[in-house]
Amino acid sequence: MKKLLTGNEAIARGAWEAGVKFAAAYPGTPSTEILENTATYKEDILAEWAPNEKVAIESVIGASFAGARSFVAMKHVGVNVAADPLFTVSYTGVNGGMVIISADEPGYHSSQNEQDNRNYAKFAKIPMLEPSDSQESKDMMKLAFKISEDYNTPVMLRVTTRTCHSKSIVECGNREEVGIKEYIKDLDRYPVPSKVGAMRVRVEERLDKLRDFSNNTELNFIEWNNSKVGVISSGICYRYAKEVFGENVSYLKLGFTNPLPIGKVTDFCSKLEKIYVIEENDSYIEDQVRLLGFDCLGNNFFPYTGEMTPDIIRKTVYGKENDVIDYDDSKVVPRPPTLCAGCPHRGFFVELKKRKNIVVSGDIGCYGLAHAEPYNVGDWCICMGASFSMGHGAQQVFNMKKDSKTRVVSMLGDSTFFHTGINSLLDVVYNGSNTVNIILDNRITGMTGHQQNPGTGYTIQGKKTKDVEIESLVRACGITNVVTINPNDLKAVKNALDWALSLDESSVIITRWPCVLKVLSKEDKEEFKDVFNNSCNVELEECIGCKACIRTGCPALSFDNEIKKASISSDSCVGCEVCLQLCPVKAIKKGEA
């Protein structure tokens, strides 16, 4: 049976065919759809969203120890969160096969950095596979579990954005029911200092065996094309190179990339006059080629950042690009990302931007857009859950300055709070901070495409579960100054900010309103009865052209420069009423249902 699948869909299919019993993840582009598609195999695989990547990998380690084939998926920065248990499970080994999927993002389309997680496999001393298309994604996912069990090791499957999201034909197979292996108590796996030395020796012995595997596996192969010019590449870069060079060069295609196949690399390079190493971001392969004594064109020739697309390769090697249609790019209107019409964060930002003497500590989520026009209320952003702790550290320093009136407002979303914001809030409480902490609860994990989280009341496979009430959790952390508000009510937002900024101790404001794009649950419909109905409109004869409504940044609003009047698109407006509350002459009215 053949199917047209994305790489992420193919990985999920491979997990199912491999007999996987358990899978966990935290959503993050470009990895999100892996677990979403795995969850559709609910008769055979238990799939779970975890609060963060560290918890996800820990649950998968436990499932592996208990004897089941299991995997964890995350984007590249998620591996940073999961690194602590990852490095230790490399020492302990596995029982049931265990795979860690790192979805890297060359080009940083939706990420805060461009790290190359091939380095993690080498650092953690675990084998790594890199598929180049959807068929290989499925096949390598299946093979990864066999390698894991044969060599008693977790295995990394490293993919990148284009592998994850591009589609190609996949030959699908049947599920292999491998069952659950017997759990046998083995205290030699317990990583206490007295046993770690022996574990380290086993890890190095395992790497020696994997080096032999790397040199002999069909995952690494040479294509000789009667050319003294050769390309060494892995993953999607192999497909990019083939598109540019065709059969005019020879190829060393690497699918198993830690340990690298030194024998094959040496054999390949020794027969060539010119060697291109085509890889995205770090010089992972190039460094090894140079250590073997071969000169090559890698990061000293190709760009070291961004995606290594065929256009980039062609321009770098041949100095030309594909022909494109000529157009006047001065007429192309720049369209930066913006909050959706009716976004529940907008009203809060509209009021927050009015405040003086504040510094805003931001976080990872849709609300990251608050740093730009028209709000300008984000001073920094580093990683998930960091806003509260960064804000605390900054406030402690501001408080050291004599007569300082600077207050820090720290903000993050509901899913981010569950991810790592709770620990940050504990830091605020424990160390007696006086920051204002905002939890923007839009009732879903919004930025990555509406995944469930501990606050939504549902699992990824649709099972009703306990929803963690954020206000109760905040109070349990030790915060006594807590208020929950509707962020579309600008007066309520203003009063909450006035109250919190008047305190000389920590406080939490929770804005609770569903994302405008969310498919509302039964519970949502009961709680938010008046949500998203009756769009607003502008009475043109009353509009004075002051643009107060336009400055909300809502894409449903536009301004006609000829008649100097604002208007609202009824197709986009959902009636949040933020603009209505700001209009000084009440020219904006609520329409009929």
For residues 497 and 508, give the distance between their C-alpha atoms in angstroms, rounded to a whole number. 10
Across-strand partners of 256? 129
Q: ω before 555 within 30° of 0 (cis)?
A: no
Are 2-214 and 220-318 in the same CATH fold?
A: yes
Q: Which CATH number fits domain 346-527: 3.30.70.100, 2.40.340.10, 3.40.50.970, 3.40.50.1450?
A: 3.40.50.970
pLDDT at 321: 82
Helices assigned H by DSSP within 217-270: 236-245, 262-269
Three-state secondary-structure class, residue 366 = helix
**Nearest Cα residue to 157 out of 166, 146, 144:** 144
Q: What is the pTM of this model?
A: 0.93
DSSP 399-424: HHSTT---EEEEEEEHHHIIIIIHHH
Q: ω before 487 within 30° of 0 (cis)?
A: no
- Sign of the dihedral defined by the CA atoms of residues 281, 284, 288, 289, in that order: negative
pLDDT at 531: 63
Does residue 49 contact residue 442 with C-beta atoms inside 8 Å?
no
Q: Cα separations (Å) of 282 from 26, 81, 236, 279, 550?
A: 25, 21, 15, 7, 44
CB neighbours (10 Å) of residue 423? 12
Q: Cα separations (Å) of 183 from 85, 94, 151, 180, 343?
A: 20, 11, 17, 9, 49
pLDDT in tens, the chain (593 residues): 999 999 999 999 999 999 999 999 999 999 999 999 999 999 999 999 999 999 999 999 999 999 999 999 999 999 999 999 999 999 999 999 999 999 999 988 888 889 999 999 999 999 999 999 999 999 999 999 999 999 999 999 999 999 999 999 999 999 999 999 999 998 888 888 889 999 999 999 999 999 999 999 999 999 999 899 999 999 999 999 999 999 999 999 999 999 999 999 999 999 999 999 999 999 999 999 999 999 999 999 999 999 999 999 999 999 988 888 888 888 888 888 889 999 999 999 999 999 999 999 999 999 999 898 899 999 999 999 999 999 999 999 999 998 899 999 999 999 999 999 999 999 999 999 999 999 999 999 998 999 999 999 999 999 999 999 999 999 999 999 999 999 999 999 999 999 999 999 999 999 999 999 999 999 998 898 766 668 899 999 999 999 999 999 999 999 999 999 999 998 899 999 999 999 999 999 987 53
User: What CATH architecture does domain 536-590 belong to?
Assistant: 2-Layer Sandwich (3.30)
For residues 67 and 55, give the distance between their C-alpha atoms in angstroms, rounded to a whole number. 19
Does residue 13 contact residue 5 with C-beta atoms inside 8 Å?
yes
Q: Beta strands 70-75 and 46-49: pairing type?
A: unpaired
Does residue 559 contact residue 547 with C-beta atoms inside 8 Å?
yes
Give, rounded to a whole angstrom, the gap between the first and last alpha carbons of the chain: 49
For residues 45 and 15, give the distance between their C-alpha atoms in angstroms, rounded to a whole number. 9
**Nearest Cα residue to 100 out of 58, 34, 47, 155:** 155
For residues 72 and 76, give the distance between their C-alpha atoms in angstroms, rounded to a whole number. 12
**Nearest Cα residue to 203 out of 89, 102, 106:** 89
Does residue 231 contact residue 252 with C-beta atoms inside 8 Å?
yes
Quick one: how far is CA 479 from the chain centroid?
A: 30
Task: Give domain limits for the chain.
Answer: 2-214, 220-318, 346-527, 536-590
For residues 61 and 94, give the distance between their C-alpha atoms in angstroms, rounded to a whole number. 8
Domain 2-214 has CATH 3.40.50.970: yes
For residues 191 and 213, give the distance between their C-alpha atoms in angstroms, rounded to a whole number. 27
pLDDT at 593: 38
Three-state secondary-structure class, residue 122 = helix
Which are the contacts of 75, defined by CB distance < 8 A and separation ≥ 6? 28, 29, 30, 31, 102, 103, 104, 105, 111
Domain 220-318 has CATH 3.40.50.920: yes
Does residue 280 contact residue 308 with C-beta atoms inside 8 Å?
yes
For residues 427 and 188, give the distance between their C-alpha atoms in angstroms, rounded to a whole number. 36
Does residue 140 contact residue 131 with C-beta atoms inside 8 Å?
yes
